[in-house]
Structure 1
């Protein structure tokens, strides 16, 4: 018993001495400006984050050597030196200038003649270029509510134009969808917001219909049995 008490007191004294001896070393290290760390620092190499690539842009097929829309039909722009041609090309063009050229390319695919600028097919081509541009913008800026609203309005307008074109001229409708790469989906025949009251009413109506059908089946079975019984009675007589 006395031996155990003596050992414990000796251990406590040794721990106190070690703490007192470690304090001046730490204070001297802090005064000299060196950082004191309990464990050695380990610096591991971090893997590079892979960038998530979105769908291909509609402007990716435009060559940088192509001239801008305003200078494409000017013959002098074809014979100028390389510096001026580079200034007039799409290499240094803005996004709006590239989008205008892409819009003209889509219009040229579906327009009826060279002077056609207001037909349903041309309106669908213009809306398609605008919708795809807004979709690419919203992939980068998904919180832009104003442009999201503009995109949804343009989609609704294009749906109405395609619906009317499909009813009036089906061959032109098929050509527009094929040339512009549009997939037309039919709208639902009936749509109603599913509230809890409406769902409860619908379930109750279904239950009532099933009960009525069950009663009708029982009545038909009784009539059939009574008819068979009458036939057997007449046959026995």
Structure 2
């Protein structure tokens, strides 16, 4: 089998640029990489969008998801050409389980008290609700470990997630049929690290690495993240 194309899926309150340090290193090493946008409108819609990207790629795919992106790859990862999954400080949901339900079994992270709810218009329907992180709290809660000036930029350019996505159950769980690898950010203040550990253990991932890093571990520890992706590639090639 040819070496898989790596598809990097970002999470809520971020965008594709959150993977930039990892993307740069993978490209420099000669890997094929795709970093698509996640629209953060609903889990089903986001997973369908990513699955369409994956199915448009010729050959096998290694699908990696950060944070909410972990929930997205859990659903999108059932695409036939997905060879493996990598969770990076992510949610490994079970079939029928929502983000809220998984998180509800553990103490809240600092994120819970830093969320802001804003209505947005829905053509022909009731307004929806966007969830974002308080700009003043974003640097310490979501972007801990980054240069303060960089964190400030990320805070004012974050991509919100609709409130409905928190309660929407995963329709499938790709880890039941696809091999997986996981990274726990042990200093994560956005997701309780025990949520990550529990999901990974339940999924029976082949390997789980603990990194003493914050939520945006792919920006603060890109070499360590690349090492896990490379390990997965080697196992699948």
Scaled by the length of structure 2, the TM-score of the pair is: 0.21
> Highest CA radius of gyration, 1 or 2?
1
Structure with more of its chain in strand, by fraction:
2
Higher relative CO (CA 8 A, sep ≥ 6), structure 1 or 2?
2
Structure with more of its chain in helix, by fraction:
1
Scaled by the length of structure 1, the TM-score of the pair is: 0.21
